[in-house]
Amino acid sequence: MGKFNKYIDAEKGSAVAFILFALATVAIPGHGSSHDVELILTVSSFLFAILAGFYISRQSKRFDSLRQFVALQDANWVSVFKTAEIIGKDFANRIADRIDAYYIVWFDFNIGAEAYKHTSKLLDDVYSELRTHTGIADDNTDSVYDEMAMFLAEIEKNRNQESVLSREKMTAGQWTVLLILTGIIVFSLYYLMVPALYSKVITVLHSTVLVLVILMLRDLQNLMHGGEMQLDESGQEVFEVIGKPRYYNKKYLDSGVSVVPEHVKEYRLGLHVPGEKVDIKLCRRREEEV
- For residues 277 and 112, what is the distance between their CA atoms, to the nearest angstrom? 21
What integer is the mean pLDDT of 71-77? Answer: 94
What integer is the mean pLDDT of 41-61? Answer: 95
Looking at this protein, which amino acid is placed at residue 11? Answer: E
How high is the pLDDT of residue 98? 95
- For residues 278 and 191, what is the distance between their CA atoms, to the nearest angstrom? 55
* Phi, psi of 250, deg, nearest 5: -55, -30
- For residues 214 and 225, what is the distance between their CA atoms, to the nearest angstrom? 14
Average pLDDT across the chain, whole number: 88
More confident residue, 203 or 112: 203
If you ran DSSP here, which 8-state letter would residue 5 be given?
P
- Tens digit of each residue's pLDDT (9 = 90 or more) over 180-199: 999 999 999 999 999 999 99
- Tens digit of each residue's pLDDT (9 = 90 or more) over 128-142: 888 876 554 555 566
- Closest by Cα among 198, 250, 239, 222 to 99: 239
Is 181:48 a contact under the CB 8 Å cutoff? Answer: yes
The answer on pLDDT for 213 being more than 50 is: yes
Is 86:144 a contact under the CB 8 Å cutoff? Answer: yes
What integer is the mean pLDDT of 39-63? Answer: 95
What integer is the mean pLDDT of 261-274? Answer: 90
pTM: 0.84
